[in-house]
Chain A
């Protein structure tokens, strides 16, 4: 879907111009309206019909302050719109005709009046020239007529805009569909941007901070070796060395939590094994995924399992948990063409107290959002007294 072109802010003068321009296309409108009515049964409008509709769309956006929703134009819509357009351009022609007539009157009156007052009278012009008192009467009347005419033109512009909005704007359901599509895309974009950002942070940690920490530890230990165990402060140096080692270990854990690089090099299985082996609650992993799923699916599964195991440790009071990851669908056969029908199936269960709910702003809600953004589903069953079971299905499209 293309974003709607933004209309320049409309002023009355713009609307007048727009309505006036709308009058100029009268013959084209008439021709195309007939054409469109004759071909209304076709699915797509003919090229000239489409061209003239596009022209009017542009004009309506530019002069009449209409936001084009970019809805596709069907033959029927084009026929209805152009039929109305013919009426509309006839109206604006009429109004413009009146305006032209009025202006002609003004020119004649002014000439007569000025002629009478300022110039010598020619013999051919024997009629009474306009006196100043006549002009004083005519000016308000003329102004009112001019005002009414301009209001008429303005009205035609508004009518024009209404017609476009009625026949060329997307229907409510089309609008909602487009909006949903847009939101889905932007959510997925947001998530992939987030993952990319995590990757960058991990890289920065690895390339900068971690290397520096290792270099520091190396320096301390070299100093220890050079000064020997009897030197003053050797005890402190030894402590410093131990601290540096701890620092490196902590940094490594943090970087791994930010984004496990193993995901990129070896895929999901080793990462999940590591997660499971470090889980606070004893956890078993059943792995049955014969082909590697796409990267974003792997990433999503990783965060689902990591987050859920954290929840298990925090809230469940469970003695044990189980993570099962399997592949459903034809990709099992390793047939790449069938891959889009395959789905990764993740079940995480624990024997804890249950009572888990998806509350907005909490971990599970975030997970559900992440899974939905990847086009998958998350189901939670957690009766009071347990067991709790989180089931996620992610398509490998």
Chain B
């Protein structure tokens, strides 16, 4: 596949480039900043980009912001974001509602070669990849909140996690649409999520799956 890189550490940039080349991928370009990547993206049209989160100039969240831009302007390009730490907010931004072909991985996974290459393949084929550590952390954060849900709310959450729409939940539980809305609002409240902050249903699904 055609890959573009943005990673500010030259050493690691070269390491990833050689690894991908060994694997027979075509690394069309590797840059040290997100801006350079964005400016060349339209011309190169890679299948996948790999971006580091912290890059010059501010060393905070350049990579995530670039990823959000790429997702808006070139939805066909897969994005794999590498992060030093698991940050839930980044996971939420990247894997928000309607996300596809996006991955959020700890940087360490690059070393594990196989995980990294596998994530790259999954992102390229439109899948979502969330680092196991991030899943664990999201799970830890949410697990004690799940205990606060009523029986009915748990059922609704389970159906949501299966990816059903509100109408689907209405049909499954034989309750009114307004009741479903009431339950889902209560769920979002208790889980400390804003209904409109685009919290990823798939992440919820993962939580459900871990819980069961």
- Is A206 in contact with B111, judged by CB distance below 8 angstroms? no
- Given contacts A207-B9, A217-B111, A221-B112, A261 and B54 within 8 Å (CB-CB): yes
Which B residues are in CB contact (< 8 Å) with A86? none
A220 to B15, CA, bound (A): 11
Which B residues are in CB contact (< 8 Å) with A256? 85
- Is A245 in contact with B22, judged by CB distance below 8 angstroms? no
Residue total for B at the interface (Cβ-Cβ under 8 A): 28
For A224-259 the 0/1 string (1 means CB < 8 A from B) is 011000000000000001001100110010011000
CB distance from A207 to the nearest CB of B (A): 7
Query: Is the C-beta of B172 less than 8 angstroms from some C-beta in chain A?
Result: no
Contact of B8 among A207, A241, A244 (CB under 8 A): A207
- Given contacts A207-B8, A261-B84, A215 and B140 within 8 Å (CB-CB): no
Query: Is the C-beta of B210 less than 8 angstroms from some C-beta in chain A?
Result: no
- Is B113 in contact with A215, judged by CB distance below 8 angstroms? no
- Is A212 in contact with B111, judged by CB distance below 8 angstroms? no
- Is A218 in contact with B113, judged by CB distance below 8 angstroms? yes
Query: Is the C-beta of A174 less than 8 angstroms from some C-beta in chain B?
Result: no
A255 to B113, CA, bound (A): 24
A244 to B113, CA, bound (A): 13
CB distance from B199 to the nearest CB of A (A): 15
Contact of B12 among A218, A244, A261, A277 (CB under 8 A): A218
Which A residues are in CB contact (< 8 Å) with B182? none
Contact of B9 among A211, A217, A255 (CB under 8 A): A211
Contact of A203 among B12, B59, B85 (CB under 8 A): B59
Which A residues are in CB contact (< 8 Å) with B8? 207
- Is A270 in contact with B22, judged by CB distance below 8 angstroms? no
Query: Is the C-beta of B110 less than 8 angstroms from some C-beta in chain A?
Result: yes
For B97-111 the 0/1 string (1 means CB < 8 A from A) is 000000000011011
Which B residues are in CB contact (< 8 Å) with A219? 15
Query: Is the C-beta of A266 less than 8 angstroms from some C-beta in chain B?
Result: yes
CB distance from A256 to the nearest CB of B (A): 7
A248 to B18, CA, bound (A): 20
A256 to B87, CA, bound (A): 12
Which A residues are in CB contact (< 8 Å) with B137? 277
Which B residues are in CB contact (< 8 Å) with A255? 84
Which residues of B (12-41) have their CB < 8 Å from a CB of A?
Answer: 12, 14-16, 18-19, 22
For B47-71 the 0/1 string (1 means CB < 8 A from A) is 0000000100001110000000000
For A193-231 the 0/1 string (1 means CB < 8 A from B) is 000000000010011001110110111111001100000
- Is B87 in contact with A270, judged by CB distance below 8 angstroms? yes
- Is A273 in contact with B113, judged by CB distance below 8 angstroms? no
Query: Is the C-beta of B89 less than 8 angstroms from some C-beta in chain A?
Result: yes
A219 to B18, CA, bound (A): 10
A82 to B120, CA, bound (A): 85
CB distance from B134 to the nearest CB of A (A): 12
Which A residues are in CB contact (< 8 Å) with B11? 211-212, 215
For A257-281 the 0/1 string (1 means CB < 8 A from B) is 0000110111000100100010000
Identify the closest chain A residue to B82 (Cβ): A214
Which A residues are in CB contact (< 8 Å) with B111? 214, 217-218, 220-221, 241, 244-245, 248
Query: Is the C-beta of B141 less than 8 angstroms from some C-beta in chain A?
Result: yes
CB distance from A267 to the nearest CB of B (A): 9
Which A residues are in CB contact (< 8 Å) with B145? none
Query: Is the C-beta of B88 less than 8 angstroms from some C-beta in chain A?
Result: yes
Which of the listed residues A215, A244, A248, A249 has the most CB atoms from chain B within 10 Å of its own CB? A215
- Is B141 in contact with A210, judged by CB distance below 8 angstroms? no
Which A residues are in CB contact (< 8 Å) with B59? 203, 206-207, 261
For A164-207 the 0/1 string (1 means CB < 8 A from B) is 00000000000000000000000000000000000000010011
A262 to B91, CA, bound (A): 13
Which B residues are in CB contact (< 8 Å) with A215? 9, 11-12, 14-15
Identify the closest chain B residue to A287 (Cβ): B192
Which A residues are in CB contact (< 8 Å) with B89? 265-266, 270
CB distance from B7 to the nearest CB of A (A): 9
Identify the closest chain A residue to B23 (Cβ): A225
- Is A270 in contact with B88, judged by CB distance below 8 angstroms? yes
Identify the closest chain A residue to B58 (Cβ): A264
Contact of A261 among B85, B110, B113, B141 (CB under 8 A): B85
- Is B15 in contact with A261, judged by CB distance below 8 angstroms? no
CB distance from B126 to the nearest CB of A (A): 26
- Is B19 in contact with A222, judged by CB distance below 8 angstroms? yes
Question: Other CB < 8 Å A-B pairs besides A214-B107, A221-B113, A266-B89, 7 of them?
Answer: A214-B110, A219-B15, A222-B19, A248-B108, A262-B85, A265-B61, A265-B89
* Residue positions of A touching B, CB distance < 8 A: 203, 206-207, 210-212, 214-215, 217-222, 225-226, 241, 244-245, 248-249, 252, 255-256, 261-262, 264-266, 270, 273, 277
Give me 14 A-to-B residue pairs in the complex whose CB atoms sit less than 8 angstroms apart, sorted by A's number: A207-B9, A210-B107, A212-B11, A214-B12, A215-B12, A217-B108, A217-B111, A218-B15, A218-B111, A222-B18, A252-B84, A261-B85, A265-B89, A266-B89
Identify the 8 closest CB pairs spanning chains A and B, nearest first. A217-B111, A211-B9, A218-B15, A215-B11, A215-B15, A221-B113, A265-B60, A266-B89
